[in-house]
Amino acid sequence: MELKGLAFTTDILIGLTLVISLIPLFYFVIESNYPETSFQSLTYQANDLIEILANLKASSFSNTSTISMLLSNKIISETDLNKTLLDLIGTFWYSGNKSIASNITKEVLEGLTEKCFSLQTHNETIYSSCSSNPKTVSVAYRLESGYEIGKPVSGYVARAWATKVRKNTTQIIIFYPEGSGWTAQRLEITKNFALPTNITIYNATLYVSIHFGTSKSQAQFEQLKINDVQKKNDIKWLYMQEEAFGWEITTAAYGVVDVTNEIQPGNNSIYLVIGTPNYHSHIHPGMRLIVTYSLSQELSTGNKSFKKRYYFDNVVGRTGAWSMVSFYIPENAKNAKAQLHLKTLEVDDTVDLFGRNSSDVIIYFNSGHIFYKDGYCSSQNCYPSCSISGLYYRNCRKVGVMNPELFLNLTNNLTIGTNVISVYLNNYGDVHWGDQKAIIYSDPLNDPEGSSYVEVYYEMEEPTFNYGEIDITREMLFGGSASNPKTFNFTLNQSQNKVIEAFVHIAQGFSSMVNASINNFWIFTSPSIRVVPENVYVYPNKLSVGKNSIRLVDFQEGGSISGTNYILPWSSFEYTYLVKGLVGYGNVFNSSQLAIEDAKQRLISQMGEEGIKPEGIQVDSQSVQGLRWLWGPSLFKILVWERE
């Protein structure tokens, strides 16, 4: 029984302990009312501080160390002291001078309150008086914007834009890879082209890339006439690669000649005659004329629809003639269409041993498969079944001479990027037939409709350039040494950030097939052997400001990298970029005349950096009063919390 009584007493004591332990809870319940008033006090402090910053002028603190230093260093003027403190802090903060903004805040607000505070904008802390983390924090907000240091708040601003400019630009006129059949005796190529008439030519350089006889006794380099001026002896040969396979001795040659004095504004003509007694004779990739000139241009908006003609060169081969024209469709083009007009002359009409009409006209387009043929093909390569003379000549029976003219729709086989169409007359690859010359006819200056050409049409969603934008074309040579593969690293600066068109000009001696990439992005692969175009389209959106690289690889049909087919250092990157021919509103001036003069000078300076001189300028001047600009509106907030 005593034990039971003791147990009962212990229970009571435990219960009593629990009751007593609850007593402090009453205290906390009672005390819980006080944080509300404390928070209210913090709120008042936060509002007071933000009002101080928003209403007090900087002049009130002109004797503080930071502001007096800014004054003495002429970073701010007496006029800037009329800004509010928040305006001044925001101006420095958003112009990147964050430590100045922080120091001003510290010097203005420290000592005004014993509580912790922090000035913030866009989740960035301008200044915090305490490093402790607040448990309860009160916040006051203020939206602010401001104008740049040193600028008056009223006056005149002006903008200017060019209506007519004179620019220095580059135009590249390419020679397509083209030539005659095997053991061609004489190859004649004529390129007629037009330059703008209102230009002043500063420089014209012709790169010559040809395949002819040997570099020694058998070299047949007969003519290079620029507007009837003989220049063949002026060529400086930069690279020669002679190869011999038994009695087949042949040379790939790459040279350069200055033709500045011969090339003229308006119509021009280049006439080339070469030959080889025992090999192909043709133009290799990389033959091009580079003309640098100044041009007067009225400013306008770019087109949204484009119709371009890519004219063939006039090619006279013996026997056989061929040409490989490259053209491009930009990546965001719509409704792209293309057609080939081929006008040929004096093509031998032949039949094979079985009396079947041979294919004397063969066309390939973006593929290793024949796109068009005019006769019978007994094999994939369409060599006629005729008796063989020597290694490469097919002695087919000639039944006449024809002048076929073709209109072929290429639209269904078009591809975005580089397109290549190859035309062969009385020959293909290493085999040729016929006994006289064959001509791919083209004279775009005198007979544009009757000439051979590819006509391309496409539409763009946006014009390639807007009013006030000026297109400038430049070229960069790869440089370095001949190699395969070859990588070209180059840099585009900020002013060249809007490239609208770009090409790689491939310069090669011997070539097989080529693969091209830009910044590790594929842009072109030859569809079949010997389809190496002179130029390959580069997608502008794959270029970037800063470092870029182009990689070219010559490879064999089986995929292996060619051992002796080098990419030459005179390969180049051509790019067209836009330069702004307008400047926006600038500083505020006390007179309209000063503002206009400033706008003009800014325009002249901006375009001058790219070699553009405005010939006509239009200006627009506005008066401004109390205009707030350049930064903001930004939300500033003051956080206030109790010091721990």
Q: Which is nearer to another protein, 46 or 603 (CB)?
A: 46
Helices 23-31 and 2-21: angle between axes, nearest 10 degrees = 10
Least distance in angstroms from the C-beta of 52 to another protein: 5
Q: Is 88 exposed, middle or buried (0-12, 13-18, 19+ CB in 10 A)?
A: buried
638 in contact with another protein (CB under 8 A):
no
Least distance in angstroms from the C-beta of 109 to another protein: 8
Tell me the C-alpha distance between 598 and 594, whole Å.
Answer: 6
Residue 25 contacts residue 19 (beta carbons within 8 Å) = no
Please say whether the dihedral angle defined by the alpha carbons of residues 119, 121, 125 and 126, taken in this order, is positive or negative.
negative
Piece of 52-60, 250-258, 383-391, 433-441 that binds another protein (CB under 8 A): 52-60
Residue 476 contacts residue 572 (beta carbons within 8 Å) = yes
Q: Which is nearer to another protein, 37 or 380 (CB)?
A: 37
Q: Which is nearer to another protein, 16 or 529 (CB)?
A: 16
Selected binder of another protein within 21, 33, 73, 123 (CB under 8 A): 33
Q: Which residues contact 260 (CB under 8 A, 6 or more apart)?
A: 201, 202, 203, 204, 205
Segment 561-565 long-range contacts (CB within 8 Å, at least 24 positions apart): 561/484, 561/485, 562/484, 562/510, 562/511, 562/512, 563/484, 564/241, 564/243, 564/510, 565/484, 565/508, 565/509, 565/510, 565/511, 565/512
Q: At 181, is the secondary structure helix, strand, or coil?
A: coil
637 in contact with another protein (CB under 8 A):
no
Q: At 236, is the secondary structure helix, strand, or coil?
A: strand
Which residues in 94-123 contact another protein (CB under 8 A)?
A: 108, 111-114
Selected binder of another protein within 42, 49, 86, 235 (CB under 8 A): 49
Least distance in angstroms from the C-beta of 39 to another protein: 12
Least distance in angstroms from the C-beta of 71 to another protein: 17
* Residue count of the chain: 644
16 in contact with another protein (CB under 8 A):
yes
Piece of 16-24, 371-379, 536-544, 617-625 that binds another protein (CB under 8 A): 16-24
Least distance in angstroms from the C-beta of 87 to another protein: 15
40 in contact with another protein (CB under 8 A):
yes
Q: Which is nearer to another protein, 33 or 493 (CB)?
A: 33
Q: Which is nearer to another protein, 96 or 111 (CB)?
A: 111
Piece of 22-30, 198-206, 476-484, 571-579 that binds another protein (CB under 8 A): 22-30
Residue 250 contacts residue 214 (beta carbons within 8 Å) = yes
* β-bridge pairing 393-395 and 431-433: parallel
Q: What is the 3-state secondary structure (H, E, C) of 109-136?
A: HCCCCCCEEEEEECCEEEEECCCCCCCC
14 in contact with another protein (CB under 8 A):
no
With CB under 8 A as the rule, give the number of residues binding another protein. 35
69 in contact with another protein (CB under 8 A):
no
Piece of 33-41, 199-207, 383-391, 610-618 that binds another protein (CB under 8 A): 33-41
Which residues in 499-518 contact another protein (CB under 8 A)?
A: none
Q: At 599, is the secondary structure helix, strand, or coil?
A: helix
Q: How far is CA 66 from each of CA 48, 105, 108, 144, 152, rounded to the nearest angstrom?
A: 23, 10, 10, 22, 22
Selected binder of another protein within 21, 30, 379, 494 (CB under 8 A): 30
Q: Which residues contact 246 (CB under 8 A, 6 or more apart)?
A: none
Tell me the C-alpha distance between 512 and 504, whole Å.
Answer: 17
2 token code pair: 């005593």
Task: Evaluate the omega torsion of the peptide bond into residue 37 and state whether it is cis, within 30 degrees of 0.
Answer: no
65 in contact with another protein (CB under 8 A):
no
Q: Which is nearer to another protein, 44 or 141 (CB)?
A: 44
> Which residues sit opposite 297 in a β-bridge?
165
Q: Which is nearer to another protein, 12 or 560 (CB)?
A: 12
39 in contact with another protein (CB under 8 A):
no
Q: How far is CA 442 from each of CA 435, 524, 584, rounded to the nearest angstrom?
A: 22, 27, 48
Piece of 2-10, 446-454, 548-556, 568-576 that binds another protein (CB under 8 A): 2-10
413 in contact with another protein (CB under 8 A):
no
Tell me the C-alpha distance between 30 and 586, whole Å.
Answer: 64
528 in contact with another protein (CB under 8 A):
no
Selected binder of another protein within 10, 55, 63, 436 (CB under 8 A): 55
Residue type, 295: L
Least distance in angstroms from the C-beta of 1 to another protein: 6
62 in contact with another protein (CB under 8 A):
no
7 in contact with another protein (CB under 8 A):
no
Least distance in angstroms from the C-beta of 543 to another protein: 55
Binding site for another protein (CB under 8 A): 1-2, 5, 8-9, 12, 16, 19-20, 23, 26-27, 30, 33-34, 37, 40-41, 44-45, 48-49, 51-52, 54-57, 59-60, 108, 111-114
